[in-house]
Amino acid sequence: MWRATILTLFPEMFPGPLGLSLAGDALKRGVWNLETRQIREHGIGRHRAVDDTPAGGGPGMVMRADVLCAALDAAFAPDDPRPRFLTSPRGAPLTQARVRGLAQGPGAIILCARFEGVDERIVVARGLEEVSIGDYILSGGEIAAMALVDSCVRLIPGVMGEEASGSEESFENGLLEYPQYTRPREFEGLEIPPVLLGGDHGAIARWRREQALATTRRRRPDLLPSSETPPGSQPRR
């Protein structure tokens, strides 16, 4: 069973969206497991402090290495094979390839940072992999943790209704997904492309490939090999 363990100051945020729709149904059926751990249980002193002022000065507070190590050590056994993540805007971008690999593994342990971040020594001492879901800042790591878990859970066998649903989406084949249509045939003067209604599966496959390439060239040229990138396109940073 795929298992997710989330270490957070706000366990009440979970399961949140993970308890609904496909992920929620699979959670209820026991296809995967979600556990939350309250970091503050390992806090210091009467007030269970989890943070302190930054060494060298500066604004905000930093989460303590000793507190986080204690929380992590209580969350998994020494032989737990699951990768350990820290949600962080400076982390490596979470990609579909990474997600697919994680979905085939035993699960994930995710530490959700707050305040100005965490003492760097926790990353080294517990071998955390920093991961980012985008070039922006959130109030804490919980939403990023939900995104990581949801992206993995939906790929676990038995979660999605059709296995093909996960293989023809954006990023799965290196391209953004082709446009999708359904009834009605005409909507506010806009019609479904005739090729999709002709029943020629070869022509449909070619059209979808062409549309996926065109959309990727237009919106994310950085995903394409240099030979496919139009002149003047600037890779996305």
User: How do residues 163-175 score in pLDDT, each as one tens digit?
Assistant: 545 556 667 778 9
For the domain bounded by 2-153, which CATH number is listed? Answer: 3.40.1280.10
142 close to 112: Cβ distance less than 8 angstroms = yes
Query: What's the pLDDT at 185?
Result: 96
H or E stretch including 226?
none
Tell which wins on pLDDT, 170 or 56: 56
At 8, list the tokens.
Answer: 């957070």
pLDDT exceeds 80 at position 211: yes
| Residue 101 neighbours by CB under 8 Å, 6+ apart | none
Separation between Cα atoms, residue 157 and residue 98, nearest integer Å? 17
pLDDT exceeds 50 at position 177: yes
Q: Name the residue ranges covered by the structural domains of the chain.
A: 2-153, 169-228
Nearest to 117 by CA among 71, 52, 72: 52
DSSP state for residue 85 in the 8-state scheme? E
Query: What's the pLDDT at 16?
Result: 98
pLDDT exceeds 70 at position 72: yes
Give the global pTM: 0.88
For the domain bounded by 169-228, which CATH number is listed? Answer: 1.10.1270.20
Count CB-CB contacts under 10 A for residue 197: 12
Is 169-228 in the same CATH topology as 2-153? no
